[in-house]
Structure 1
């Protein structure tokens, strides 16, 4: 069962799950990329509005099998690698989902959806935004879950879309 938190326990487990997930196609990321992720996670965890959801792997008490995390971003923030400015209706506070990662053994059981749903359930921002590779199977899941394309990132890697999801009714 996914759990919500505002802090990271055992950061090395997050790095390991990230590495297991993102070394697979279409990403093919190496250990150095996982190390970079771990540094980024530590930086983000120190920001106001940081939130993480986790799911256990079932192998030991507290073992990590997946996670999703994001950070509140103030009005006017937009991804620094975005090819174009944010659409006018997105120039408001938003919640940026930096990662969703579920190990292969737990996929297909609804954990990814539960992790995101719990992460976004009580957010006060009107929109959530995330980046997704157009080559990843998760991209189609996001579309089915209501996320819509609002932009693209400049590469490398190429083919990464910015997706948005309304969290509260538009005024």
Structure 2
């Protein structure tokens, strides 16, 4: 019996452009048909940010998942969506080097339960120069519990727009220390994660 090992690849902005259609296809399968304003412009915009990193996982020749993120700019308004300001307002100050923010992390439904999300997560945060990582997650109990098990702490409720659903903002100190390295499936890693890929 042949083992189908995952292959992890780290890309810069050029990878986001080259893989645009397959990435959008995965997002549509996971989250449903793209909305009128969800035609992929979000991916193009993300790839223009400093420190952009895209991580993909293939099984054989099939792209089965991806994750991306980038460095928050000094002028970022990312924290405007936080509904409950922290006791220390300094937590929300950005200097263009402080925070790596995670965007989408998607794995096709028929490939879940094999540790690919954790593999994407750890590769995404590996060797980042920022002090911390931030992300916004669905308040789904299982998803939230998974991130907490990976070492993330909850900062508070978050909305992208005043009328959007309520999510949870989370933080993780960098450099990353994998919480459960044994949960990773065996596989090959192609390309060392670059520092501040632009």
TM range (shorter): 0.7 to 0.9
Q: CA deviation at 1:151?
A: 2.1
Q: Does 1:151 align with 2:153?
A: no
Give the aligned partner of residue 161 of structure 1: 168
Contact 2:79 2:92 in 1 (8 A): no
Give the aligned partner of residue 66 of structure 1: 65
Q: Which shifted more, 77-86 or 46-55?
A: 77-86
Q: CA deviation at 1:2?
A: 1.6
Q: TM-score, normalised by structure 2?
A: 0.71
User: Structure 1: which 5+ residue stretches go unaligned?
Assistant: 24-29
Q: 1:2 aligns with which of 8, 26, 29?
A: 8
Q: How does 1:1-171 map to 2 (within 5 A)?
A: 1-6=7-12, 7-8=15-16, 9-23=18-32, 30-32=33-35, 36=38, 38-58=40-60, 61=61, 63-75=62-74, 77=76, 78-85=78-85, 87-92=89-94, 93-135=98-140, 137-154=142-159, 156-168=163-175
The CA deviation string for residues 15-68 of structure 1, in whole angstroms up to 9 with x for no partner, is 110111113xxxxxx3316x616110111112221101001143xx3x321001
Q: CA deviation at 1:168?
A: 3.5
Looking at structure 2, the residues matched to 73 and 55 of structure 1 have their Cα atoms a distance apart, in angstroms, of 25
Q: CA deviation at 1:91?
A: 2.5
Q: TM-score, normalised by structure 1?
A: 0.82
Does the residue aligned with 2:67 lie in a helix, a strand or coil?
strand
Q: Who wins on radius of gyration, i.e. which is larger?
A: 2
Q: Which shifted more, 88-97 or 73-82?
A: 73-82
Looking at structure 2, the residues matched to 136 and 37 of structure 1 have their Cα atoms a distance apart, in angstroms, of 29
